[in-house]
Amino acid sequence: MLRLTRAAAPLAKSWIGVLPRLAVSCGLLLHTTVAVSQASVRATPVELLELADRSAASGNFRRAEQILELLIRDPRSDIHNEARSRLALLYERSGRDRDAALLLRSILDEKPDTSAVRIRLAMLLQKLGDDDAAHRELRAVRVTDLPPNVARFVDRLAAAAQAHKPVSFQVEVALAPDSNINRASRSDSVGTVLGDFQLEEGEKSGVGATARGYAQWRLKLAESLTLVSRALGEARLYRESDFNDIVAGVSTGPELTLGGTTVSFEAGGSQQWYGHERYQQVLRLNGTIVQPVDRVSQLRMDVSRRWTSDQLNSLRDGGGLGLLGRYERALSPRLAIVANGALDRFEAEDDAYSTWSWSVGLSAYREVGRMTWNIGAEYGSLESDERLEIFPKKRDDRLFRLQVGSVFRQLTFGGFAPVARVIYERNASTIEFYDYRRFRTEFGISRAF
């Protein structure tokens, strides 16, 4: 107990909010007592929460934030999570939606079954323009046993879960050690109808830099109709610039919401550069339907038509038709699975470059503490219509891909978190030129959501 003279009483009262801070710094946030003459004032964590509420109600948001930031350090789960929840509300009121979402996520890291917090997080993600993440949180909350009125609210929220933020973006940068940056064959030669030819270069390993960016702009045209425009880019850069791979693209189109179903159409184009050369230009039309299957799962179907201009070899010019299906399901608040399948037909100027391909994949996302782990595997096939005249066989590939990664949210700073991935690829082909193995890792930072 700290005793002060009566003359110092006004000063003690003005510093009553500072003493808890000193107590927290010393790890002694059990109670704070100030004695003025013969009277004592005791501030418990509950009273400090009330003081923070009164400070916010009177417009002193800075003092309220300071008190709540201190209470977050309290070792007791019920205290620091309540402080996180109230601080998230303050952040929302001041427009700091991303900071608020990070606080709510930290509560769910400890208490994944807290439905009210997960619903609030879904609404924030919706405001931030991250539709996919918002839908994932809503499916996760439906796994829990909700009261009927809350379940109906979640249903309405899911049906109307369209982003309100007109402009949003995502970005990721990483270092990427790669065992085979040029996807070269392990064979020293390739068989042809004229005999074996030596390959000029084999596998090249190196450490590159990867940068990915995605921007979205939304213009609401009517109650259920939105114009959505997107821009994306990805660059894989190496010391040997001949293997640099850069892609940039834009698209735009309407998005219509009909009850729980979302239907969208878009037209766009992309340009790819490989090394120092313009490699490929693609124009695309795409239609998408996203349909809830039940309370915890959804199905997405994409149909696309594309026209490709190969700027290195006109015989590879042509058009393609693709079909993609994706099924997502929440098994628990911490575990979700995704299954996908794709079918593609490409008709080129030369039948040897015309192909049929398909792929299937399965992945899982699991929250472990303040980390999100994911593991996924994909298997596919590609077969050409005819053989190139120089090769004795037509191309027939089998591709296997395995990826394991994690986002480390406990190290989040400024809305970004460290991310790590390990990727293994094995493409077995009847043509040695396309037969390769590749082991790639990525270490970088990404948005936390």
The percentage of residues in the chain with a pLDDT greater than 90, rounded to a whole number, is 36
Q: How many helices (H) and strands (E) does the chain have?
A: 9, 19
The tens digit of pLDDT for each residue in 119-177 reads 888 888 877 777 777 777 877 777 766 666 666 666 656 655 544 567 777 889 999 88
Question: In this structure, are 134 and 270 located in the same domain?
Answer: no
The pLDDT of residue 117 is 84
State which of 159, 192, 220 marks the end of a domain. Answer: 159
Whether 27 has a pLDDT exceeding 60, the answer reads no
The pLDDT of residue 160 is 53
Question: In this structure, are 117 and 195 located in the same domain?
Answer: no
The pLDDT of residue 151 is 60
The pLDDT of residue 169 is 79
In this structure, the number of other CB atoms found within 10 A of the CB of residue 161 comes to 20
State which of 159, 188, 204 marks the end of a domain. Answer: 159
DSSP state of 58: T
Question: In this structure, are 133 and 175 located in the same domain?
Answer: no
* 89 burial type by CB count under 10 A (0-12 exposed, 13-18 middle, 19+ buried): middle
How many folded domains does the chain comprise? 2
- In 3D, which of 350, 361, 444 has the Cα closest to residue 406? 444
The pLDDT of residue 165 is 61
**Residue 43's pLDDT band (cuts 50, 70, 90):** low
The CATH number of the domain holding residue 143 is 1.25.40.10
SS (H, E, C) 371-399: EEEEEEEEEEEEEECCCCCCCCCCCEEEE
**Residue 429's pLDDT band (cuts 50, 70, 90):** very high
Question: In this structure, are 144 and 210 located in the same domain?
Answer: no
Question: In this structure, are 303 and 415 located in the same domain?
Answer: yes
Question: In this structure, are 74 and 197 located in the same domain?
Answer: no
Full domain range(s) for residue 221: 167-447
The tens digit of pLDDT for each residue in 287-304 reads 999 988 887 888 999 999
Question: In this structure, are 152 and 185 located in the same domain?
Answer: no
The percentage of residues in the chain with a pLDDT greater than 70, rounded to a whole number, is 80
Whether 232 has a pLDDT exceeding 90, the answer reads yes
Question: In this structure, are 253 and 381 located in the same domain?
Answer: yes
The pLDDT of residue 15 is 40
Measured over the CA atoms of residue 126, residue 129, residue 131 and residue 132, the dihedral's sign is: negative
Query: Mean pLDDT across the stretch 410-431?
Result: 87
The pLDDT of residue 379 is 98
Question: In this structure, are 99 and 211 located in the same domain?
Answer: no
The pLDDT of residue 162 is 47
Question: In this structure, are 151 and 184 located in the same domain?
Answer: no
The tens digit of pLDDT for each residue in 46-78 reads 888 888 888 888 888 888 888 888 888 888 888
Question: In this structure, are 443 and 303 located in the same domain?
Answer: yes
Question: In this structure, are 282 and 392 located in the same domain?
Answer: yes
**Contact, 335 vs 364, CB < 8 A?**
yes
The pLDDT of residue 281 is 96
Residues in Cβ contact with 165 at an 8 Å cutoff, skipping those fewer than 6 apart: 127, 128, 129, 218
**Residue 10's pLDDT band (cuts 50, 70, 90):** very low
Whether 16 has a pLDDT exceeding 50, the answer reads no
State which of 159, 192, 210 marks the end of a domain. Answer: 159
